[in-house]
Amino acid sequence: MMRRSKVAVVGAGVVGVSTAVCVAEKLPSCSVTLLSDKFTPDTTSDGAAGMLIVDQYPDIPLERQRCWFRDSFDHLLAIVQSQNTLETGVLLSSGFHIFKEPPVNKKPYWWDFVLGFRFLSERELRRFPEYTFGQAFTTIKCECSTYLPWLHQRFTKAGGKVEQKKVSSLEELSPDYDVIVNCSGLGSKDLVADNEVYPVRGQILKMDAPWLHHFIRLEKGTTYIYPGSRYVTLGGTRQEGDWRLGVDPGDSESILKRCTQLEPSLRGGKVLGGWVGFRPSRRNPRVEREVPRLGGGAHVVHNYGHGGFGVALAWGTAIDATGMVRSCLQERYPHAKL
């Protein structure tokens, strides 16, 4: 009998689980194991607002970033349009992205993938007197605390195995696997000694305000109001290198004040609680093969460092990383059927 190639995916946030599902489904002859110290509901991904709105990374070809966004958007849109949308945590979300001054590029690079993209009219802008420019569109909100359990089931259905474990070095896994995919987010700081990864602290408030249906986001995502399936997410903060995990009352007050200025009806809402997470940030995410192979023979593919856009780009980068896993296996076993 032919030996099955063995692939390990390290990290069970949205990037790791998406990658594990993609590898298991697209390379069905492989045995895939998802190894992680934390799983849903305890990952950073679980608390993220999960909006598909992204900024551009500085040094990655735009066409590649467009593929990541398109593949993610289309994957999630297909879920929204399927019958099991309620149990997946994926929903459509329409609203406004507003600016004090028009940005250099009036259309973001992903304008033609989201639905119904247009500029705000003067009449619509009157509602936001301090802002001179706005974009309106329908995008997707992917709520990971529901989406990740659903994706885990999809992984198990595809034959994937799960192991709870803190990995102290990729070398330790090398004798047991042909390819290791590193999706450890901020954990890559220690796991692969990457000093380019750093935390950007983000605090949000969860509010009960069920009359709100449209998102409002200020440029660069400094302040936002994102209605979701169970509560409205109010944000935010972007504090580089700040490792404080506790909810800061000063931040809560500032978030509430900024959001209420944008949407005065929030005065009638009830704050349900706060949450803090660390965006696994890097100048550019690392989605690449490592050369050479590890001592024990395993190839390594990295997929981490998505910063504030990991939910939005998880599926697209997972497809990219899966292509790299395929090439590693083809090099190692040129005659194997994948």
Ligand X SMILES: Cc1cc2nc3c(=O)[nH]c(=O)nc-3n(C[C@H](O)[C@H](O)[C@H](O)COP(=O)(O)OP(=O)(O)OC[C@H]3O[C@@H](n4cnc5c(N)ncnc54)[C@H](O)[C@@H]3O)c2cc1C
Question: Which residues contact ligand X (rule: CB under 6 A)?
Answer: 10-16, 35-38, 43-45, 48-51, 166-167, 183-187, 191, 202, 204, 235-236, 277, 279-280, 304, 306-312
Q: How far apart are CA 140 and CA 244, in angstroms?
A: 29
Question: How far from the centroid of its chain's Cα atoms is residue 250's Cα?
Answer: 27
Q: How far apart are CA 111 and CA 66, in angstroms?
A: 10
Shorter beta-carbon distance to ligand X: residue 38 or 326: 38
Shorter beta-carbon distance to ligand X: residue 125 or 248: 248
**Structure-token pair, residue 8:** 């390990």
CB of 54 to ligand X, least distance (A): 7
**Structure-token pair, residue 27:** 């390379």
Shorter beta-carbon distance to ligand X: residue 132 or 274: 274
Shorter beta-carbon distance to ligand X: residue 173 or 328: 173
CB of 289 to ligand X, least distance (A): 18
CB of 330 to ligand X, least distance (A): 26
Least Cα distance to 287 among 32, 38, 64, 30 occurs for 64
Q: What sign results for the dihedral spanned by CA atoms 318, 319, 321, 325? A: positive
> CA 47 → CA 13, 224, 251, 334, distances in Å?
11, 15, 17, 42
**β-pairing, 31-36 with 161-164?**
parallel
Q: How far apart are CA 336 and CA 338, in angstroms?
A: 6
Shorter beta-carbon distance to ligand X: residue 5 or 203: 203
The amino acid at 108: P
Q: How far apart are CA 119 and CA 109, in angstroms?
A: 15
Shorter beta-carbon distance to ligand X: residue 147 or 309: 309
Shorter beta-carbon distance to ligand X: residue 5 or 281: 281
**β-pairing, 90-99 with 133-142?**
antiparallel
CB of 98 to ligand X, least distance (A): 17
CB of 315 to ligand X, least distance (A): 11
